Chains A and B, each alone.
Chain A
Amino acid sequence: MTDNQNPISPHLQIYRWHVSSLLSITHRIAGVINLLALILMFFWLLTFSLGENYYELFLLSINSFLGKFILIGFTWSMSFHILSGIRHLVWDLGYGFEIKTANISGVLVILSSLVVTIIFWSLGRGLI
């Protein structure tokens, strides 16, 4: 079969940035990062089942500086993807398509993803 000659989307480098396009591509990127987070959770379980020595090594890695950086990054990508996903589901139900509404909901998603990240991380670590 011949290659599909349809144009390939989306052309990120060509169009001027809008809230809509920024959220769209970030949703994708966050989704891919969440797949990495899921694979990290896989290793959490795997090292646990291999025994205490392996588990200690896992704990040591995620509590290192780089480990914490990655864990907080994953917290944000999860918050963002879920919130942005809710926005998508509302669209799928047929609401919120007006340009103004979509811009407001987009900005709301960005801001609340940061707030949720802080709350989620603080609660998880028993800081509040």
Chain B
Amino acid sequence: MKATKQWIFHRISAVILAPLFAWFYFSLISFSEKNYQEATYFFENPLFKILIISLFFIGFFHAKISLNEIFEDYIHKKKIKDVANILALIFSIVFPVIILILLILKI
């Protein structure tokens, strides 16, 4: 049952993630030629803040499930695999939480 749930969550996150990722990456490319001041308008938009926070939480969640699958296929030793999975879990929480704090408190 756990695997089935993971499979379903993987697909749902993929569908939400595709437009979010494309949008934010496109913004990065267009803002690569613009200065700090112009980026300020972008990052201070409340709607964009919500989208960016969603992108990071869903993105790292999707990546975590994917990494679990890749580790399952390529890592032979169970102990190393367990450690790798725990690291993936920690990273998938730490990065989005930092983004959340930055966007709410600093920007």
Q: Please encode chain A, from 37 to 52, with 1 for each CB lying within 8 Å of some chain B CB and 0 for all others.
A: 1111110111011001
The contact size tier of chain B is 35 or more
Please, how many angstroms separate the alpha-carbon atoms of A104 and B34 in the complex? Answer: 40
Distance in Å: Cβ of B30 to nearest Cβ of chain A: 5
* Residue interface mask A47-79, B partner, CB < 8 A = 1: 011001001100100110000000100110010
Q: Tell me, in angstroms, the Cα distance from A81 to B36 when the chains sit together.
A: 31
Would you give the 0/1 interface string for B52-76, flagging 1 where the beta carbon is closer than 8 Å to chain A?
Answer: 1001100110010011001001101
Query: How far does the Cβ of A42 sit from chain B's closest Cβ, in whole Å?
Result: 6
Does A123 reach chain B (CB closer than 8 Å)?
yes
Q: Which residues of A contact B59 (CB under 8 A)?
A: 38
Residue A125 is within 8 A (CB to CB) of chain B in the complex:
yes
User: Quick check: is A10 within 8 A (CB to CB) of the other chain?
Assistant: yes
The reply to whether the CB of B99 lies closer than 8 angstroms to some CB of chain A is: yes
Q: Mark A105-124, 1 if CB is under 8 A from B, else 0.
A: 00000000000000011011
Q: Is the CB–CB distance between B18 and A121 below 8 Å?
A: no
Size band of the A side of the interface?
35 or more
Q: Which residues of A contact B33 (CB under 8 A)?
A: 63, 125-126
CB within 8 Å: A-B pair count:
97
B9 located at the interface, meaning its Cβ lies under 8 Å from any Cβ of chain A in the complex? no
Is B103 engaged at the interface, CB distance under 8 Å to the other chain?
A: yes
Please state if A89 and B15 are interface contacts (CB–CB under 8 Å). Answer: yes
- In angstroms, Cα B11 to Cα A3, docked, is 29
Is A41 a contact partner of B60 (Cβ separation < 8 A)?
A: no
Task: Given contacts A34-B63, A48-B36, list 19 more A-B pairs with CB under 8 A.
Answer: A38-B63, A42-B98, A45-B43, A45-B102, A45-B107, A48-B39, A48-B43, A48-B107, A49-B107, A55-B36, A74-B25, A82-B22, A86-B18, A89-B11, A89-B15, A92-B11, A125-B29, A125-B32, A125-B33
